[in-house]
Chains A and B, each alone.
Chain A
Amino acid sequence: MTQIVDAGSADLKAPPPPEGKDAGAFKTFVRAMMRSRTGFIGFLVFAGMVLLCLIGPLFMPDTLPTDTSKIYGPASLGHPFGFDSEGRDVFVQLINGGRAVILVGFLAAVISTVIAVVFGALAAYLGGRVDSIIVAATDIVLTVPSIILLAVLAAFYRVGSAWSLAVILGVLGWPGLLRAVRAQVFSLKQREYIEAARLLDLGTGRIVIREILPNMASFILMNFVIGMTNAIYAMAGLYLLGLAPMQGDNWGIMINFAWTRGAIFFQGSLGYILAPVLAICIVQLSLVTMARSFEEILNPRLRHN
């Protein structure tokens, strides 16, 4: 999971777009998706999952009654994944359970991206003492194994809602991204067009926001996607340990129940355990594929053919 994408070689030698401005997040995104076939497939799969998880629940019953006669019931045409330990239909839970996962992952990634971009850009642009302090803080947070930190925090202060879960994940998810943003800004800062902007006395805020950040759009996008996979990984882990809020339908809760109630050792409930596991894996895989296609834009030498 860590080394999702090597942007180690994010291409910095290539000149910025001629105007020195706005490749635009949206345009970059479209360009990345059009250029790489796998990236496009990844995008389609992800978009499909998102649609399924956001719109699907509208067609599903709101409340799923428990039915003791159907506990671990086998899969059938009407119930493609069988029934769980309370006799609830797994397929319905699967459709209803994705929304929380995707939304929390998205929100967490937004939070960590904002923190990372703001402080990373500040560190690189201002340099000096601000830079040293931010870098030192980042290094320290980076050494603490984040899953353990999350688990301990969640055990100390029970996480009450999906919102607070997203906030905790986001607040702990920034260090890697911050280092990347800082390094990128550091190199952009030395480009000639930034020097020109400085000569024109455009002001720090304007230079960072209007001149530097737009040129990093695809870079930030890529890291945002990686941040999302990391948040989903950590979230699924917290659910496995039973440390996330255990109400509602959620893939993480499904996995936790299948695991703690022993369904995985029951040969007949293969569909039940595989459904949420594969759903999470598919979301992760589609995100990683998208991130890789952004990376290929950043570093053309990685491209095939």
Chain B
Amino acid sequence: MAATERLDKPIEQEASSKPPARRSTARYIVGRIVKALFTIYVVATAIFFLVRLLPGNPVDVYINQQIAQYGLSYQEAANQAAGLFAFDPTESKLQQYLDYLLGLLKGDLGTSLLSPGSSVSEQVAAYLPWTLFSVGIALIVSFLLGIGVGMMMAYRRGGLFDHAMTLFASVTHSVPNFLLAMMIIVFFGVQLEWLPIAEMRGAYSPGVTPAFSLTFIADAFYHAALPMFVYVLTSLGGWMLVMKSSTVETLGEDYVTVARARGLTDQRIQFQYVGRNAMLPLFTSFVLSLGFVVGGSILVEQVTQYQGIGFLLYEAVQRRDYPVLQGILLIVTISVVLANLVADLLYSRVDPRIRITSEEG
């Protein structure tokens, strides 16, 4: 969805470079943490609103279903719903809201509708790590690869390499990732039978026990290979193009000309002057792409049958397991917010300018 966020970066730097309202690092960090907490709070509130208050909300739907199917009285049905969604129907909405927030603080997200006895937090905790593992590694790999190739493209712009890579990038990142996964399965799994797709399903093989051992790690990578390959291939093109244009921009800077005039070696200029500066705008994009790739993973995981959060979400959608859906949305958002926070703090180490510029978005 979010495609255009990086558009504003250079402009904002330009606009905000005028009033350098100095802010200490500590203030910057605290500000970021407060912002992250606020985001989580807003999302949690919005979810409460969606699940409980809007007309046709899942709690009402569930209560009505129980009444229609099993002939329960309203009170009985409401009590059942209350148990599942972890709220007390006798209380006022405001009190319910406060209870809900308090429950969240304790990690209580209610109970799964269809797997009675297993809490939503437990279920999410079982599936989410696999998504974070596969998406995280794939993102880092494609980011690094993209930076390297993008820089080469900028240095050889107009050449055959640049043209070929631009074509490659345009094609790979306009193909929706889950459709790419589907095509890989159809061609290499079904038609050519090169990939043992049935064997590669799941997060790890049935006989292997999760442990910090070489066999287990190798096995985890074996099962994650297909989704990871898809993430890398579909996000790589984007990094290449952004890095290329950023490098082209940097090459035009005065300090590069000066470095050349000083007779520094091309290699030194390329890595220490151009590369390091050209990379900066990409960090923000990296942060913003996290949410997108994690979101897209629910589709890729469904296609490749990888047992990450997307797999759980699909099951929950098919069975209309509302508490699980609500929990997934909340926890995935929280993990994206936290990842953003970490990336933001790292970024402020990489580019100290960000700490001393005024708030501009």
Give A residues with C-beta under 8 Å from B: 1-10, 12, 38, 135, 139-140, 142-149, 151-153, 155-157, 172-173, 175-177, 179-180, 182-184, 186-187, 190, 223, 226-227, 229-230, 233-234, 236-237, 240-243, 255, 259, 264-267, 270, 273-274, 277, 280-281, 284-285, 287-289, 292, 299, 301-302, 304-305
B14, B242, B322: which contacts A12 (Cβ < 8 A)?
B14
Taking a contact as CB atoms under 8 Å apart, the answer to whether A6 and B245 are in contact is yes
Write out, one digit per residue, whether chain B residues 50-87 have a CB within 8 A of any chain A CB (1) or not (0): 11001011100000000000000000000000000000
Whether B252 is near chain A, meaning CB under 8 Å from some CB there, is yes
Q: Could you write out 22 A-B pairs with CB less than 8 Å apart?
A: A1-B234, A3-B6, A3-B239, A4-B174, A7-B4, A9-B246, A12-B14, A143-B39, A143-B291, A144-B291, A148-B328, A151-B298, A156-B325, A173-B1, A176-B4, A183-B361, A186-B11, A186-B15, A223-B7, A243-B317, A280-B179, A289-B174
Residues of chain B lying within 8 A (CB to CB) of residue A301: 245, 248-249, 252
Q: How far is the CB of B327 from chain A (nearest CB, A)?
A: 10
A146, A151, A152, A277: which contacts B2 (Cβ < 8 A)?
A146
Q: Is the interface of B mostly helix, strand, loop or mixed?
A: helix
Write out, one digit per residue, whether chain B residues 164-207 have a CB within 8 A of any chain A CB (1) or not (0): 00000011011111110011011000110000000000000000
Cα of A4 to Cα of B238 in the assembled complex, Å: 6
Interface residues on chain B, size class: 35 or more
A8, A146, A264, A270: which contacts B281 (Cβ < 8 A)?
A8
Q: Could you say which of B94-102, B155-163, B221-229, B348-356 contacts chain A?
A: B155-163
Interface centre among B178, B234, B239 (most CB of A within 10 A): B178
Whether B42 is near chain A, meaning CB under 8 Å from some CB there, is yes
Cα of A67 to Cα of B1 in the assembled complex, Å: 39
Residues of chain B lying within 8 A (CB to CB) of residue A237: 176, 178, 296, 298-299
- Top 6 nearest A-B pairs by Cβ distance? A3-B238, A183-B8, A145-B295, A180-B7, A147-B295, A176-B2
Give B residues with C-beta under 8 Å from A: 1-12, 14-15, 35, 39, 42-43, 50-51, 54, 56-58, 157-158, 162-163, 170-171, 173-179, 182-183, 185-186, 190-191, 234-235, 237-239, 241-242, 244-246, 248-249, 252, 281, 285, 288-289, 291-296, 298-299, 302-303, 313-314, 316-318, 320, 322, 325-326, 328-329, 332-333, 336-337, 340, 361
Q: How far is the CB of B50 from chain A (nearest CB, A)?
A: 6
Q: How far is the CB of B134 from chain A (nearest CB, A)?
A: 15
Cα of A78 to Cα of B332 in the assembled complex, Å: 48
Taking a contact as CB atoms under 8 Å apart, the answer to whether A240 and B299 are in contact is yes
B5, B248, B292: which contacts A180 (Cβ < 8 A)?
B5
Q: Is the interface of A mostly helix, strand, loop or mixed?
A: helix
Taking a contact as CB atoms under 8 Å apart, the answer to whether A147 and B299 are in contact is yes
Residues of chain B lying within 8 A (CB to CB) of residue A3: 3, 6, 173, 235, 237-239, 241-242, 285, 289
Given A4-B173, A274-B186, A140 contacting B43 (CB threshold 8 A) = yes
Q: Considering only CB atoms, which chain A residue lies closest to B339 in the complex?
A: A143
Residues of chain A lying within 8 A (CB to CB) of residue B248: 301-302
Taking a contact as CB atoms under 8 Å apart, the answer to whether A183 and B174 are in contact is no
Given A187-B11, A273-B186, A284-B174, A143 contacting B158 (CB threshold 8 A) = no
Taking a contact as CB atoms under 8 Å apart, the answer to whether B241 and A187 are in contact is no
Q: How far is the CB of A11 from chain B (nearest CB, A)?
A: 10
Residues of chain A lying within 8 A (CB to CB) of residue B314: 241
Interface centre among B176, B177, B246, B322 (most CB of A within 10 A): B176
Beyond contacts A2-B2, A155-B317, A183-B12: 10 other A-B pairs, Cβ-Cβ < 8 A, are A1-B173, A6-B6, A9-B246, A143-B43, A147-B299, A151-B298, A175-B1, A180-B7, A227-B3, A270-B191
Q: Considering only CB atoms, which chain B residue lies closest to A186 in the complex?
A: B15
Taking a contact as CB atoms under 8 Å apart, the answer to whether A1 and B57 are in contact is no
Taking a contact as CB atoms under 8 Å apart, the answer to whether B11 and A184 are in contact is yes
Q: How far is the CB of B142 from chain A (nearest CB, A)?
A: 10
Residues of chain B lying within 8 A (CB to CB) of residue A227: 3-4
Taking a contact as CB atoms under 8 Å apart, the answer to whether B302 and A234 are in contact is no
Interface centre among A143, A149, A226, A299 (most CB of B within 10 A): A143
Taking a contact as CB atoms under 8 Å apart, the answer to whether A6 and B241 are in contact is yes
Given A148-B328, A179-B4, A8 contacting B10 (CB threshold 8 A) = yes
